Amino acid sequence: MPLSSPLKLALPLNSVDQTLSEINGLISLPEIYQKIRQLMDDPKSEIDHFAVVVSSDPNLTATVLRVANSAFFGFPGKIDSINRAVNLLGVGQLHDMVLGTSAIASLDLPNDIMPLKTFWRLSLFSGVLTRLLASQLKIPRSERLFVIGLLHEIGHLVIYAKYPEQALQAIDHVLAGKQMLHVAEHQLLGQHYGEIGARLMDQWHLPANFQEIVHFQPTPSQAQSYSMETALLHIAHGYAQQVICKSDQALDQLIVPDAWKVLDLTPDQVESTLDNAQTVCSDMEKLMLN
């Protein structure tokens, strides 16, 4: 199919910048997350301090205990105290869990393009599959990729809520087989969903590796510091489009060849993990999204 003529930029160049500024003023991560970050930045903080902060929020306490007892982590025995949960999870995973649940609560931007539950299910599946594959490939700190996957689509929430006309035009362009989604978005908005998501993460002062992996997930060959992690998330995102969104696009339309090469990974290896990923995703959905 011949390439279409390029889409024209339909917005003022500073339009997305202004939107991100407004969103940052209206939506912020909750105070409890800020307290966790402050403890992480304090070299004198101890595990007990983190447990006290988590225990101050009943909803977060319940979520942490449910997740710590889930098959996803596979800790032995029943974990019935926050202190033990934090000790087993570690500060890094606690931070990521609080970040993930906080972002879900904070970013429920209304839109008419994708139901929010479907959106978060897509994101959750991407995070679960990325982590499972990273563990198989022995990529260091693979547990962080779960939350990065959970948050990697937040740029689309902004686009769907604030620029629905452009979002639908970009989607139509993709369905017609004319361009990849991030290319159409960049031409229409001046930035694609990965760039917008990374900028929102920067405004929230989230870790640099979160920002880079999310920024370059649609274009993994451009990633530098985290090329393997970015390529892995790109592949997981492609499978999530097929499994969760039932995309009619072929895999080679959703995943660039370079991503497979960076990881020395094959579709057969990924597909052998899909059933497990769906099972884990279903369990995690009950724990985090309900």
Identify the structural domains of the chain with CATH numbers, from first to last.
1-27+110-290 (1.10.3210.10), 29-106 (no CATH)
- d(CA 174, CA 227) in angstroms, rounded, equals 25
The tokens for 237 are 């995102």
In the predicted model, what is the mean pLDDT of residues 172-194? 89
Q: Model-level pTM? A: 0.85
Q: What is the pLDDT of residue 1?
A: 34
Question: How does residue 6 score in pLDDT terms, banded at 50, 70 and 90?
Answer: low
Which residue carries 């500073």 as its tokens? Answer: 14
Greater pLDDT, 192 or 19: 192
Q: What is the pLDDT of residue 167?
A: 93
Closest CA to 238 of 91, 118, 122: 122
Are 168 and 113 contacting, i.e. CB atoms less than 8 angstroms apart? yes
Position 74: which residue type? G
On the question of pLDDT at 229 being above 90, the answer is yes
What integer best gives the mean pLDDT of the chain?
Answer: 87
pLDDT digits (tens, 9 = 90+) for 97-145: 888 877 777 777 778 899 888 998 999 999 999 999 999 999 988 888 9
- d(CA 170, CA 156) in angstroms, rounded, equals 12
Q: What is the pLDDT of residue 178?
A: 73
> 204-213: b or e for each residue (b if 16 or more CB lie within 10 Å)?
bebbebbbbb
Q: What percent of the chain has pLDDT over 70?
A: 93
- What's the Cα-to-Cα distance from 33 to each of 39, 57, 88, 94, 96, rounded to whole Å? 10, 11, 19, 10, 10
**DSSP E strand boundaries for the chain:** none
Q: What percent of the chain has pLDDT over 90?
A: 45
Cα dihedral 264, 268, 272, 274 in deg (nearest 10): 90
CA angle 130, 183, 205 (to 5 degrees): 55
Q: What is the pLDDT of residue 24?
A: 64
Residue 45 C-alpha from the chain's centroid = 28
